[in-house]
Structure 1
Amino acid sequence: MEKNRKIIFYGAILSVIIAAGLFIYTMYASSMLSYLSSDPKACINCHVMHSAYTTWDNSSHKNVAKCVDCHLPVGDEIAKYTAKAIDGWNHSVAFTLNTYKNNIRISENAAERVQANCIRCHSSVSETVQKNASFYHNNSNFDNSRKCWDCHKYVPHGKVRSLTSTPYNLGIKEHLK
């Protein structure tokens, strides 16, 4: 009986060590800790994001906003890391199972965050647009359901945003090393 307990005990310890080793390797291989930063280069750990990074890197927003400034809630750390966790899970599932299209589409939840950040950063412009809506937006009341990129769709990621169409984007990670 004592011998069986020892075998079970050592087997449990070995299992924990193997599981911990696999977890540490997965953290290293996926650059997991980089996702806790605000460095835009963390976004290109996945090759599918190279075109988004490349187009942002060549945009006017590069000098004033990082990826997290537009794509995550600002001012509420809990909301920020909750959004990071949800987006990270969705991205890892889509990338692992290859269920995304070449031209990635933003989720409705993420679109609401980006819209809020557009308005936050460009608040004076937003106020002016709302005041002058009758002159510049279809001679009617301001339509709050429209997104900024309905008109400004090439900001900040440019006209070309897919894996197969942004020139030189696939080598961006190697270029940055």
Structure 2
Amino acid sequence: MKYLAILAVLVVIGVFANLVHESKALSYLSSDPKVCINCHPMNTHYETWQHSSHRARATCVDCHLPRDTFVNKVLAKARDGYRHSVAMTFKTYGYNLRISDDAAKRIQDNCISCHKELVSQMLANSALYEKVEDRTVQMGRRCWECHRGLPHGTMRNLTATQNTFSVKVF
């Protein structure tokens, strides 16, 4: 019985190690944008970002994760990773990905943080003029409502790639 218990523990450890290896789980600890296309249907988003003006200055985590503290960044990455793994495992994502409210707030905050000199006048004007469409968002609108093409182009369907780009993974 003792050997059977040891064998069972070794099998569980082996299966777990294989899962970590096959899913490339340790790569998610990095900030490399190629991590986003490990197992996701994110090839189009990755490719359009590669051809955008943001490529030289911002990676996926710069826009999609909080930048205030390391703990918030890790917690958001864990929450998003869990949601993504469930969606990918059960194929519940469909052809058009939808951003969560939490992720939209992070991206909006990061846009404003990076472009604070450009948006400072817009923030001042939004305080003066009460024509606000969405009171939960600074300035009443999300940045991508006007800047739709940044950084992922205008294409939104996962089955097509804008400008027939192709992802080259090495």
* 1:150 partner letter: E
Give SS of 1:162's match.
Answer: coil
Partners of 1:34 and 1:69 in 2: how far apart? 17
The partner residue of 2:149 within 121, 133, 154 is 154
Alpha-carbon displacement from aligned partner over 1:94-136 (angstroms, at most 9, x marks no partner): 01100012111110000000011001001111211123449xx
Length, aligned pairs only: 163
Give SS of 1:87's match.
Answer: helix
Give SS of 2:41's match.
Answer: helix
The structure with the larger Rg is 1
Give the TM-score of the pair, scaled to structure 2. Answer: 0.89
Match of 2:104 in 1: 111
Structure 1: runs of 5+ lacking an equivalent: 1-6
For the aligned residues, what is the CA RMSD? 1.7
Partners of 1:75 and 1:132 in 2: how far apart? 26
Identity of aligned residues (%): 47
CA contact (8 A) 1:34 1:42 kept: yes
Alpha-carbon displacement from aligned partner over 1:61-110 (angstroms, at most 9, x marks no partner): 00000000000011311100000000000000001100012111110000
Match of 2:21 in 1: 28
Give SS of 1:68's match.
Answer: helix
Give SS of 1:176's match.
Answer: coil
Partners of 2:129 and 2:47 in 1: how far apart? 38
* 1:153 partner letter: R
The partner residue of 2:129 within 140, 146, 150 is 140
Match of 1:95 in 2: 88
Alpha-carbon displacement from aligned partner over 1:135-175 (angstroms, at most 9, x marks no partner): xxxx9336334211111111111011322121545x51xx2
Give structure 1 regions of 4+ aligned residues with deviation exceeding 3 angstroms. none
- The answer to whether the aligner puts 1:59 opposite 2:52 as a matched pair is yes
CA contact (8 A) 1:130 1:142 kept: no
Partners of 1:15 and 1:142 in 2: how far apart? 64
Give SS of 2:108's match.
Answer: helix
Give the TM-score of the pair, scaled to structure 1. Answer: 0.86
The partner residue of 1:163 within 154, 158, 166 is 158
CA contact (8 A) 2:40 2:88 kept: no
